[in-house]
Amino acid sequence: MEMIVIGGSAGAFQTLLSILEGMDKKIRIPIVLVLHRLKDQGSLLEKHIQLMTHYKVKEAEDKEFVKEGFLYTAPPGYHLLLEEDRSFSLDSSEMVNYSRPSIDVTFESFSRVLKEKCCGILLSGSNHDGAKGLKKIADNGGKTIVQDPDEAEFAVMPKAAIEIYKKHDVVTSNNIIKRLNYGFS
């Protein structure tokens, strides 16, 4: 696996923190996080996440190359894309699923570049963003994980992903941690 891409919206933050806190410290695969958030939230998200993980946490910058041991967040107001040379590209085109950054846009971009070397994880949320993109990751041979809708604070997003593609690995947050630790350590 070359990268882990995590998407979430309403209700995803606490689950994300527990996943990051439970990850094996030996895992250094780059993580990219796309959370729906307001433009004026500044760096509070990154500072809070940094407290819960061994990764270096930062907001992704245009033309920045992805590095091992880093967790990158998608900046508010931009779609986050991956270029063939493994650098980020920021895009301010139209919203997708009422969102920018859109989880679908990021998942599809990373899947196109990384193919089977991409792991996509979709957490709690109250719209369908991420469902189509996660299927693209699966279609390209990548690993896909969906938070169990029964556990998710807002089940709309996980349910949408499962409705589109029944073969995602659907598990609780504790089992997401186990899958990541077992698969990447």
CA-closest candidate to residue 54, choices 34, 73, 67, 69: 69
Q: Please give the backbone phi and psi of residue 109, each rounded to the nearest 5 degrees, phi first.
A: -65, -50
Catalytic residue chosen out of the listed positions 36, 79, 128, 168? 36
Rounded CA-CA distance 82/30 in Å is 13
148 is catalytic: no
168 is catalytic: no
Catalytic residue chosen out of the listed positions 99, 129, 168, 173? 129
Edge-to-edge strands, sheet with 56-59: 56-59, 70-73, 31-35, 3-8, 118-122, 143-147, 169-171
36 is catalytic: yes
Q: Which residues are catalytic?
A: 9, 36, 129
